Amino acid sequence: MTYSVQIAIDSEQPHDLADWWAQTLGWIVEPSDEAFIRSMIDQGYATDDQTMTHNGVLVWTAGAAINPPAELAAAPRILFQLVPEVKSVKNRVHLDLRSADAPTDAEHAALVLRGARKLHEGNQGPHRWVTYADPEGNEFCL
């Protein structure tokens, strides 16, 4: 059997974190289908308390997703899902962000200005990276 992969990231505020990561990666927040949500409520499959308004749009409270741009269509969807607890330990899996060009000092500074926290720097031979935490503490390397 063959599987596709979706990356799921636990979150306290999935819609805010999806917005942050979409901007960070240059990806697209998956649009909400308000008509579908309303139809699920009308048919009794969902309740109003399972929804919220985010940026003026009706969304499911439990999660938000981002998708890659067309040129990265093979990249997996990233889902930010609501969990009741805050992050308390180091991630066992994290995202490594890579691009054709090495990130500039300005790109590193922009991440910090937008809420990332620099954790440490590493290198292996000529390869260098910086490990950050996103606004909810999830680690990633650039």
The rounded Cα 47 to chain-centroid distance in angstroms is 25
**Predicted local distance difference test score (pLDDT) of residue 118:** 97
Mean pLDDT, rounded, for 116-138: 94
**Predicted local distance difference test score (pLDDT) of residue 100:** 83
d(CA 71, CA 127): 25
Supply the pTM of this predicted model.
0.92
- Model confidence band, residue 86 (pLDDT cutoffs 50, 70, 90): confident
CB-CB neighbours of 133 under 10 Å: 18
- Model confidence band, residue 88 (pLDDT cutoffs 50, 70, 90): confident
Residue 63: closest CA among 5, 11, 136, 14: 14
In the predicted structure, residue 101 carries a pLDDT above the cut 90? no
Residue burial 25-60, b: 16+ Cβ < 10 Å; e: rest: bebebbebeeeebeebeeeeebeeeebeebeeebbb
**Predicted local distance difference test score (pLDDT) of residue 27:** 96
Single-letter code of the amino acid located at 85: E
**Predicted local distance difference test score (pLDDT) of residue 41:** 98
Mean pLDDT, rounded, for 123-133: 92
pLDDT digits (tens, 9 = 90+) for 72-85: 888 999 999 999 98
Mean pLDDT, rounded, for 45-72: 96
Mean pLDDT, rounded, for 79-102: 89
In the predicted structure, residue 42 carries a pLDDT above the cut 90? yes
d(CA 29, CA 96): 20
